[in-house]
Amino acid sequence: MKILVCISHVPDTTSKINFVNGDTEFDTNGVQYVINPNDEFGLTRAIWFQEQQGANVTVVNVGGADAEATLRKALAIGANEAIRVNATPTDGFFVAKQLAEVAKSGGYDLIICGRESLDYNGGMVPGMLASLLDYNFVNSCAEITINGTSAKAAREIDGGKETISAALPLVIGGQKGLVEEKDLRIPNMRGIMTARTKVLTVLEPVAANINTKAVKFEKPAPKSAVKLFAADDLDGLINALHNEAKVI
């Protein structure tokens, strides 16, 4: 079985976010980048298939040279090889088109994407990729097992869980639940050393329309100061909750 895991190179959740050029561009200064959390769950599940069923795991990213550190981490975790499409991932359709071209040439049985990336939160790429390839698709996938040429997946729905069977090839939009957080892999020294010798192929992008563009970013309004009340000022607290916060 051949598995392609799509990896986004995103800012660490602890990074301080700022914008420049009139709030039209993200300020990358001092920002630490990591594997997109939803993708990391998918990668760990792919490594499980590698260990249990002999799957071959390839990771792919659409991004610049700075994303290669993230791809090398994926290789250190256990992926067999990596591919980087040398383009800026600013539009969902453009990214899906690049990934589709990689997938077509690789003959993959299972393509694992994160349900959404931590930076743009568009959630568009997995479905677009499945459509471009004409593959079966399961979004918000929290469980998956493979038996021969068929898969059984479970996805979260309002108030419960839906179990789906599908034939391979298959695209999933994965999330937490594919593995538990405690099962996420931390590269060890052997993995880091081995990753240096694994193949990382750089491809130039194919032509594709860019249909969306971020025109401006705006940070959430800062939280207002905390208002404190004396322990015996119950009337003042109730009045503030009723007339100021309007929660009662």
Rama region for 134: left / alpha / beta (φ>0; ψ in -120 to 50; rest): left
Which domains, ranges and CATH numbers included, belong to the chain? 2-218 (3.40.50.620)
134-169 pLDDT, tens digit each: 999 999 999 999 999 999 999 988 888 999 999 999
- Tell me the β-bridge partners of 203: 85
Percent of the chain with pLDDT strictly greater than 90 = 76
8-67 pLDDT, tens digit each: 999 998 888 899 999 988 898 889 999 999 999 999 999 999 999 999 999 999 999 999
* 136 token code pair: 């079966």
CA dihedral 33, 121, 47, 6 (to 10 degrees): -90
SS (H, E, C) 123-144: CCHHHHHHHHHCCEEEEEEEEE
- Tell me the β-bridge partners of 137: 171
Confidence of residue 3 (pLDDT cuts 50, 70, 90): very high
pTM of the model: 0.87
Confidence of residue 177 (pLDDT cuts 50, 70, 90): very high
pLDDT at 214: 85
185-207 pLDDT, tens digit each: 999 999 999 999 999 999 999 99
Confidence of residue 248 (pLDDT cuts 50, 70, 90): confident
Of 19, 50, 33, which is closest to residue 185 (Cα–Cα)? 50
